[in-house]
Amino acid sequence: MSTSDNAVYQVKSFNTGLILIAIVASLGGLLFGYDTGVINGTQFYFSKYFDLDAAMKGWVVGSALLGCLIGAASSGLISSSIGRKNSLILSASLFTVSAWGSGLPEFLPQSVSLLVMFRILGGLGIGIASMNAPTYIAELSPAKIRGKMVTYYQMAIVIGFFVVFLATYAIGQGGDEVYNLERGWRLMFWSELIPCTLFLVLLFFVPKSPRWLMLKGREEEAVIVLERVHGKEMANLELIEIKQSLKGKQTTPFKDLLKKSVLPIIVIGSVISGLQQFTGINAVLYFGADIFEKALGFGQDEVLAQQILLAGVNFLFTFIAMFSVDKWGRKPLIISGSIGMIVGFLMLGVSLMTDNIGLISLIGVLVFIGSFAMSMGPVVWVLLSEMFPNSIRSAAMSIAVAVQWAMNYVVSQSFPIVVESEVNNNAFWNGSLPYFIFIAFIVVIIVFTMKYIPETKGSSLEDLEKIWEEKYGTIS
């Protein structure tokens, strides 16, 4: 191993070292959250600057998601060939270029097309990181705390939301509307350069995944990583389990993913991944400014302040998930959180239908956000990082995450169109239709989880593979 690979481990407690590694990897999630939040704050201004209609607004906001889709779809091949760590370094580089280009100063020829191009580059980085960061953390973590460790990724996402809302609020308050229309939204994009640079630098001081090293036949390096992260005794046990799970299956061509023993696992993971987006979470996060301004009647100054409140609730309830996912289990959190999301959107939807918008509407949005933050937000990433067997993890994870980004794009592109449609704004729906559509999908999540999602709490990655083999046959 290189000196940089060893640098993180100069600590007395392997748990401390593991936490430091997880925090560094989770910065990919922070940039995911930051990028999502920055488009929320900036689109309020650049939409007016470029005079965008509903379809074009959806395209500019959703264009990054096409990059996410491509990045996630290719992340399996990238991760398998260059490893989790180097994949994250690639994603950090793409984040940096995107942040700079999205905020081109006034004297350079910024246009909608250029903005879309740089947004797509950032999306590529998010797509690659969204598969590799949770996978990397899961492959380094012991079973008894793996759920908690992977939720660091989701915690980083919501920290990114919270920090960027503070940043956009501060920048927005630093000038009048004319300033924000000309320069403020550009500075909001540039503020992302700070976490981008931090992520890129720190990645050179974390180790490679031991399971990826074993897949590449680099056992000596894998042993060094395992011993320094888990201690020598546990490292030996981990090594034996990894060897057993990889025996005779070091490589899995993509055509093998269609086998009857493998395809059901990928379908289940992809469906729960895609359904995460049909909760409506990113419709609220991407277009929160429009929701607060148009649907709930808040002014421009109040919009940015309300987003900070939204991000604060998101942050608080993610903590609940972090400290309960390994205690309560994955399925109970998804089901209870889904019920909470339904209640929140019912409060918002009914208040819009009856034209009684106000405090109840705001509370409904916050109940939805809090419920998502303790359930489908972190738990889906935990499930995806641990449910796929070692031999197919990279390929299967890339498919499931690509499906998630594809559904994210569908929701983000269609939401502003549905919001401004005649049907949504007739006397019956009165602006509430999108939220009842989301409620229907959340009901599907509850049913699907109860029927198809196994409880993975406390099981090693290799034990989980045995669960699938008992159900669908030997994975080979």
The average pLDDT across 421-431 equals 92
More confident residue, 469 or 182: 182
Q: Which domains does the chain have, with CATH numbers?
A: 3-472 (1.20.1250.20)
Nearest to 319 by CA among 374, 278, 266, 277: 374
Distance between CA atoms of 183 and 190, rounded to whole angstroms? 11
**How far apart are the C-alpha atoms of 140 and 8, rounded to whole Å?**
13
Is the model's pLDDT at 425 over the cut of 60? Answer: yes
Q: Cα-Cα-Cα-Cα dihedral of 74, 330, 159, 341, to 10°?
A: 100
pLDDT of residue 254: 60
pLDDT digits (tens, 9 = 90+) for 95-128: 999 999 998 877 677 788 999 999 999 999 988 9
Question: Confidence class of residue 10 from pLDDT cuts 50, 70 and 90?
Answer: very low
- What is the pLDDT confidence band of residue 309, given thresholds at 50, 70 and 90? confident
pLDDT value of residue 405: 85
Which pLDDT score is estimated for 6? 44
Percent of the chain predicted with pLDDT > 90: 32
Q: Distance of CA 58 to CAs 54, 276, 411, 456, Å?
A: 6, 19, 9, 37
Summarize the confidence of residues 289-310 as an average pLDDT. Answer: 65
Percent of the chain with pLDDT over 70: 88
pLDDT of 465 > 60? The answer is yes
Q: Does 222 or 340 have the greater pLDDT score?
A: 340
Which of 29, 28, 52 lies closest to 115 in space, CA to CA? 52
Higher pLDDT, 219 or 153: 219
Whether the per-residue pLDDT at 294 is higher than 70: the answer is: no
Say what the pTM is. Answer: 0.74
Torsion 334-336-340-346 (CA) sign:
positive
470 versus 8: which is more confidently predicted? 470
> Across all residues in the chain, what is the average pLDDT?
84
Average pLDDT of span 272-298: 78
For residue 15, pLDDT over 70 is answered with no
pLDDT tens readout for residues 233-278: 788 888 887 787 666 554 555 666 777 778 888 999 999 999 999 9
Tokens of 172: 């927005």
Using CA atoms, how far residue 428 sits from 2, 360, 365, in Å, is 65, 19, 21
- pLDDT tens digits, 363-401: 999 999 999 999 999 899 888 888 887 777 778 888 998
Closest CA to 69 of 457, 304, 405, 412: 405
Q: How many C-beta atoms surround the C-beta of residue 393 within 10 A?
A: 27
Angle at which helices 461-472 and 263-277 pack, to 10 degrees? 110
